[in-house]
């Protein structure tokens, strides 16, 4: 089992200046950062590729959301991420399962109302050869 790795925001390196321990960790780091970029851009196509169809996400309000619901909010622009600034990112890889722990400052619109918050995202990722890393489950809480 691999231990949690802390990576420096905006870089592929860990805080101690070394790269993630494995190619799989490096790929997970890239997938997490690609997901963040897709959220900022409202890129529904990229989000569709990065989320498994069975996704279950628990939002900061404690409500359960599906992939289909998430994609609709981005497509309809009722969920808009204007700012997502990563403050911390830890990751853990065991076989074909990964978990990312991201602390970020996020601002935008949700449900038509403006919001600004520090959020902690815990995402469980699964890896397979045809798709690479994709999010299976997520939990988001306000810090």
Asked if 139 and 58 count as a contact pair (C-beta separation under 8 A), the reply is: yes
Domains of the chain by residue range: 5-142
Asked if 89 and 32 count as a contact pair (C-beta separation under 8 A), the reply is: yes
What pLDDT, on the 0 to 100 scale, is given for residue 5? 59
- Rounded to an integer, what distance in angstroms lies between the CA atom of residue 60 and that of residue 79? 14
Instruction: Output the CA–CA distances (angstroms, integers) from residue 119 to 61, 69, 103, 116, 123, in the order listed.
Output: 12, 20, 6, 9, 12
Residue 11 in tokens: 């870089």
> Mind listing the pLDDT tens digit for each residue in 38-68?
999 999 999 999 999 999 999 998 999 999 9
What pLDDT, on the 0 to 100 scale, is given for residue 7? 62
Residue 135 has pLDDT above 50, yes or no: yes
> Mind listing the pLDDT tens digit for each residue in 21-45?
689 999 999 999 999 999 999 999 9
What pLDDT, on the 0 to 100 scale, is given for residue 22? 85
Plot region of 17 (φ>0 → left; ψ -120 to 50 → alpha; else → beta): left
Domain 5-142: state its class: alpha beta
What pLDDT, on the 0 to 100 scale, is given for residue 21? 63
Query: To which H or E segment does residue 89 belong?
Result: strand 79-94
- Rounded to an integer, what distance in angstroms lies between the CA atom of residue 1 and that of residue 66? 30
Q: Using 50, 70 and 90 to split pLDDT, how confident is the model at 19?
A: very low
- Rounded to an integer, what distance in angstroms lies between the CA atom of residue 1 and that of residue 119? 27
Q: What is the chain's alpha carbon radius of gyration, rounded to the nearest angstrom?
A: 15
What pLDDT, on the 0 to 100 scale, is given for residue 68? 97
Q: What is the mean pLDDT of residues 110-138?
A: 95
């Amino acid at each position: 089992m691999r231990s949690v790795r802390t990576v420096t925001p905006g870089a592929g390196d860990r805080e101690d200046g070394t790269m993630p321990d494995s190619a799989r960790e490096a790929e997970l780091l890239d997938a997490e950062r690609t997901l963040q970029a897709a959220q900022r851009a409202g890129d529904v196509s990229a989000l569709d590729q990065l989320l498994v169809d069975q996704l279950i996400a628990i939002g900061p309000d404690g409500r359960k959301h599906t992939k289909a619901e998430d994609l609709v909010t981005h497509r309809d622009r009722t969920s808009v991420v204007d700012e997502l600034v990563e403050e911390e990112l830890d990751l853990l890889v065991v076989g074909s399962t990964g978990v990312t722990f991201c602390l970020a400052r996020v601002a935008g619109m949700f449900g038509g109302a403006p919001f600004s918050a520090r959020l902690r995202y815990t995402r469980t990722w699964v890896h397979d050869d045809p798709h690479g890393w994709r999010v299976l489950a997520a939990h988001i809480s306000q810090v």
